[in-house]
Amino acid sequence: MEETAPRNPAELHTSVMLERCVELLTPGAERDGAFVVDATLGMGGHTEALLERFPNLTVIGLDRDTEALELAGARLARFGGRFVPVHAVYDEIDRALEEAGAPSIDGALFDLGVSSLQLDDADRGFAYAQDAPLDMRMDQTRGRTAAEILAEEPEGRLRELFERYGEEPLAGRYARAIVAARKVAPLERSGQLVDVLQEATPAAVLGKRHPAKRVFQALRVEVNGELATLERAIPAAIDRLNLGGRLVVMSYQSLEDRIVKRAIQARSRSTAPQGLPVELPEHKPQLRILTKGAEQATDAEKAVNPRAIPARLRAAERVREVA
């Protein structure tokens, strides 16, 4: 049997807004003995760029996907101990830093959403354009699959998921259709689910958008607990930043971006009580926002890398230590 050639991570994924991310992380990354956390390692493109440019930097790379860790590990092996891989979800930063022997960090990078590895692997069930088992777990060693959620959750809960995580206006109609369909046969493949959604979609809507897009997004978010994890992860990363350290986050959907925006803004405002004549040091903002709103990729990058089109980047710098 002919052996399959090992996959090249650099060919599987083009890192989004790479130069801008490196630029924003530079003040912390160029310090002697600096530590940066790549909280969503993926194919390792951002980490590779950081390690190449800053010879005194160590990057701690987190990913819940064991296949991504393996591929990125091979790509980054030439950096030796300057790259520390950790199998973890990005709200487990404290554990990851403890394993790496880093009490604090000089930068943190989050590149949220589903990776190219997961989207392009039909067997993972993330893409509604490819028929595959309805899995959608980023970490295939634990958790419920999308098929199990569709089989087990009542209609009301499915409607809630599609409304909250997919912002789907036809959530109720789709939830009813799924419950009716599963009484006939289990929904175990993406093609089956797409068929159910198409049949339940009014003709006027079918011509405007794919009916599965928002439902698949909602299922992926629920399977992986993405939003709850993010709500814990951003504050955890901020708490570990050294003075002058920077947080850089790229989001690909409005739900994620709102969480990131709120977390950064909460730490960039004074906490002094209204009417206090003098702002005490402990009331001063912890962060300084570095981006004007959410930055987008350049038109040139969007033209060559379509996955950069929905990206929204926010960044902030630690300006006050907290006892």
Annotated binding-site positions for S-adenosyl-L-methionine: 44-46, 63, 90, 111, 118
Given a contact cutoff of 8 angstroms between Cβ atoms, the answer to whether 132 and 190 are in contact is yes
- Strand extents, DSSP E, 211-291: 241-251, 287-289
8 Å CB contact between 63 and 111: no
DSSP H or E segment with residue 86: strand 83-87
| Cross-strand bridge partners of residue 249 | 110, 314
Pair 109, 36: CB distance under 8 Å: yes
SS3 label, residue 157:
helix
Instruction: Report the Cα 293 to chain-centroid distance in Å.
Output: 19
Report how many helices (DSSP H) and strands (DSSP E) the chain contains, helices first. Answer: 15, 7
Indicate the angle between helix axes 190-200 and 213-224, nearest 10 degrees: 130
Q: Which residues contact 230 (CB under 8 A, 6 or more apart)?
A: 90, 91, 112, 256, 259, 260
